[in-house]
């Protein structure tokens, strides 16, 4: 399973060429096992300026398998944040730790160019797609 983060979705929907957006296009064409989290749906959809873009993206995102982190997963995400902080690793916010922990819990590969995830992966078993 591959979880696609909001940065990659934003590039994809905006037509921005990047290795990650190109990989997402291939994943969708090949109907690979791709999933999102509700918080990713929120992050992606809040960026649209037009109703048409919002609705087009909404249709794509809500049709995908959804990973629903449990309360215990959120607790593990807080532990992950704290463990990283103890190592001197700064992650900008809780959302990235929740996404990372959901990937850790499900064994999913994460498709994201976000540097926070790179730092998390250096100190955990988080698996990132690399170009």
13-25: per-residue pLDDT in tens? 999 999 999 999 9
Angle at 31 between CA 24 and CA 127, to 5 degrees: 50
Give me the pLDDT at residue 10, please.
95
Give me the pLDDT at residue 121, please.
97
With cut-offs at 50, 70 and 90, classify the pLDDT of residue 31: confident
With cut-offs at 50, 70 and 90, classify the pLDDT of residue 92: confident
Query: Which CATH number does 71-128 carry?
Result: 3.40.50.1010
This prediction has a pTM of 0.92
Is 131's pLDDT higher than 90?
A: no
Give me the pLDDT at residue 125, please.
97
Give me the pLDDT at residue 32, please.
80
With cut-offs at 50, 70 and 90, classify the pLDDT of residue 93: confident
The residue extents of the domains of the chain are 2-62, 71-128
Is 48's pLDDT higher than 90?
A: yes
Q: What is the mean pLDDT of residues 82-88?
A: 95
3-state DSSP of the chain: CEEECHHHHHHHHHCCCCHHHHHHHHHHHCCCCEEECHHHHHHHHCCCCCHHHHHHHHHHHHCCCECCCCHHHHHHHHHHHHHHHHCCCCCCCHHHHHHHHHHHHHCCEEECCCHHHHHHHHCCCCEECCC
The set of residues, in sequence order, having a beta carbon less than 8 Å from that of 122 and lying 6+ positions away, is 89
């Amino acid at each position: 399973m591959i979880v696609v983060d909001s940065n990659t979705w934003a590039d994809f929907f905006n037509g921005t060429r990047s290795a990650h957006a190109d990989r997402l296009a291939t994943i969708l064409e090949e109907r690979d096992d791709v999933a999102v989290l509700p918080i990713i749906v929120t992050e992606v959809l809040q960026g649209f300026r037009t109703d048409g873009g919002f609705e087009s993206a909404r249709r794509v995102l809500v049709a995908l398998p959804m990973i629903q982190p449990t309360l215990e997963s959120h607790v593990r995400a807080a532990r992950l944040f704290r463990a990283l902080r103890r190592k001197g690793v700064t992650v900008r916010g809780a959302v990235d730790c929740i996404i990372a922990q959901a990937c850790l819990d499900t064994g999913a590969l994460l498709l994201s160019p976000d540097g926070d995830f790179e730092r998390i992966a250096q100190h955990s078993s988080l698996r990132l797609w690399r170009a």
